[in-house]
Amino acid sequence: MTKTGRVWLITGCSAGFGRELALAALEAGDRVMATARQPDQLADLVAAGAERVRTTPLDVTDEEQVTAAVARTVAEFGRVDVVVNNAGHGSVGAVEELDLTDLRALMDVMFFGAVAVTKAVLPQLRAQRGGTIVQVSSMGGQVTMPGFGAYCAAKFALEGISEALAAEVAPFGIRVLIVEPGALRTEFGGARMHRSRVIEAYAASTSQTRAAVEGMDGTQPGDPRRAARAILEVLDSPEPPLRLALGNDAVDSIAAHHELLRADLTRWEKLSRTTDLE
CATH number, position 149: 3.40.50.720
Domain for residue 15, yes or no?
Answer: yes
Residues in the chain: 278
Q: Taking the CB of residue 106, how many other CB atoms lie within 10 A of it?
A: 20
Which residues are catalytically annotated?
Answer: 137, 151, 155
For residue 10, the one-letter residue type is I
For 225-237, write each residue's pLDDT tens digit.
999 999 999 999 9
For 241-278, write each residue's pLDDT tens digit.
999 999 999 999 999 999 999 999 999 999 999 999 98
Beta bridge partner(s), residue 83: 9, 133
Mean pLDDT of the region 44-69? 94
Contact 113, 86 (CB under 8 A): no
In our burial notation (b when 16+ CB lie closer than 10 A, e otherwise), range 150-183 reads: bbbbbbbbbbebbeebbeebeeeebbbbbbbbbb
Q: Is the pLDDT of residue 194 over 70?
A: yes
Domain for residue 142, yes or no?
Answer: yes
52 or 3, which is more confident? 52
Query: Looking at residue 34, what is its pLDDT?
Result: 97
Distance between terminal CA atoms of the chain?
53
- Count of structural domains within the chain: 1
Query: Looking at residue 257, what is its pLDDT?
Result: 98
Domain for residue 266, yes or no?
Answer: no
Mean pLDDT of the region 104-115? 97
**Can you tell me the distance from the alpha carbon of 232 to that of 237, in angstroms, rounded to the nearest whole number?**
9
Domain for residue 267, yes or no?
Answer: no
pLDDT over 70 percentage in the chain: 94
pLDDT over 90 percentage in the chain: 76
Domain for residue 254, yes or no?
Answer: no
Average pLDDT, the chain: 92
Mean pLDDT of the region 175-186? 89
Query: Looking at residue 267, what is its pLDDT?
Result: 99
Show the CA angle centred on residue 134, arms to residues 132 and 101, nearest 5°.
140
Query: Looking at residue 213, what is its pLDDT?
Result: 76
Residue 198 belongs to domain spanning: 7-249
Domain for residue 32, yes or no?
Answer: yes
Mean pLDDT of the region 39-59? 91
Mean pLDDT of the region 210-220? 74
Domain for residue 272, yes or no?
Answer: no
Domain for residue 22, yes or no?
Answer: yes
Report which of 89, 30, 54 is spatially closest to residue 232, judged by C-alpha positions: 30
Query: Looking at residue 221, what is its pLDDT?
Result: 67
| Of 110-124, 202-216, 237-251, minimum mean pLDDT range | 202-216
